[in-house]
Amino acid sequence: MENRKYLIFIIFLVPFSLKFFDASFINSSILNYSFILFIWISIFLSIPHLLKSKSTFALPIYLIFFSILCSMIMAYYSWDQSFFDSLIETSQYMIWPLFFFMRFHDFPVKSLEKIILFYGLAYVLLFFFQYLNQGVVLFGRPLYGDEWTEDRGVIRIIFPGAGVFILALFISITKVTTTTSYRWFWIGFSLLGVIIPVMQVTRQFIVGVLLIYLFHLMKSVSIPKKAIIISFFILGGGIAINAEIPMVEGVIEAQERDSGLGKDYIRVLAGQYFLYDFSPNDYSAVFGNGAPYWGISFYGKFNSKLADERGYYLSDVGIIAVYAMFGIFAIIGFVIIWGKSFLIPLPPQYQYAKYYLWYILFTSFTWYSVYHYHYLISTVFALYIFQKGIDASKKKKFIKDILKRLIKKSDDFNGNISAKRIAS
């Protein structure tokens, strides 16, 4: 009964942690304060279990979480941002301890998959609803101004809360090859991983998903099948490029334009600035500057000015923004997580947890997927499921070792009996 109660809490936590996909029709104060409330409820529920749980990802999560906490001190020390302002702004990044809460209560992976898929489907339905009602902004914020505008050849709607959708996609593509039930559903949902990114005209979204799809479909098949899959992807890409689809043409034009800029590309310039020139002292260069309370504190106004006058946005530089705000130890935490994701094997049915972490790595150089609240709860879910996969592997190995020992003892016992019979 108690675990069911906590599972219900997780079900409600997801939409609150995503601010209901940044619903613009809900009062912003209610949305923001309920968001902070649920984040801190999750933290208080998790704190008692923070140091109790032994897990593969405990150390990197500690490094990231305590770096975020420490960054509030650095924001006060280096930028004179008040602790209250820092607390309000930093709360959105602090859901990491939820991993230990889920670990302690041993949430079933199947239940968690259902929650992820439910909100992944909600993302799909709400995106298409917004797309069909372009005259009004219902979810998220336009890139420019207060209305959806044309960009890259189409009305571009980057729908918020993509983390849960991406994790749902990787669950689906994994189910395609590991289960026989509901196969057409998994294939259909996986196809949305191509359609929706193209409709949003977001390059890293498109390439990240397609690369992982390609890797998954090729990794366990014969060479002839690999050739067929690669040919299919090339053929599909060629048809899309030559079909004069405005969305595809917009992506190609944006890529050609940005490639031609080289070192003058705004994200390159922003990355260099936040790496080398942003921190006002050596302490902040190590421990971070904290999260700026955008447009409110002096620190927040400084970042707002950087964005308006020079086009330097922390959100455009991903992992560099993590360093700028939370310091070197947070980066070390992420490096450990990604290192383990490549080195530790998982059972086939848990592979999607790896894929999600790889997607976050791939997009972390030019997008905020590595630290933003649109993705963080999905990242925690992926880490928890990854840990459950590790546990399942250890349990399987333990059972195999016991069976081997029993078989060996049985053989030795039978051998001794046979030897005694021969001797007699």
Q: Count Cα neighbours of 11 within 13 Å in the Cβ-side half-sphere.
A: 10
Cα separations (Å) of 294 from 70, 88, 149, 229, 231? 19, 11, 24, 46, 48
Separation between Cα atoms, residue 58 and residue 272, nearest integer Å: 31
The whole-number mean pLDDT for each consecutive block of 10 residues of the chain, a chain of 424 residues, reads 81 95 93 95 93 88 97 96 95 96 93 96 96 90 76 78 96 93 93 90 85 87 71 65 54 51 76 94 95 93 92 92 97 97 95 97 92 96 96 74 63 57 58
Structure confidence at residue 415 (pLDDT): 58
Nearest 10 degrees: CA dihedral of 378, 18, 271, 343?
0
Report residue 150: phi and psi, to 5°: -75, 135
151: enclosing H helix or E strand: strand 150-151
Instruction: Give residues with Cβ within 8 angstroms of 1, minimum separation 6.
Output: none
Contact 44, 100 (CB under 8 A): no
Report residue 293: phi and psi, to 5°: -80, 95
Pairing of strands 150-151, 154-155: antiparallel
Contact 140, 24 (CB under 8 A): yes
Separation between Cα atoms, residue 200 and residue 64, nearest integer Å: 31
Report residue 52: phi and psi, to 5°: -90, -35
Please classify residue 81 by burial: count the beta carbons closer than 10 Å to its beta carbon, then call 0-12 exposed, 13-18 middle and 19+ buried: buried
In 3D space, the residue among 315, 354, 336, 372 whose CA is nearest the CA of residue 95 turns out to be 372
Structure confidence at residue 256 (pLDDT): 46
Report residue 342: phi and psi, to 5°: -90, -30
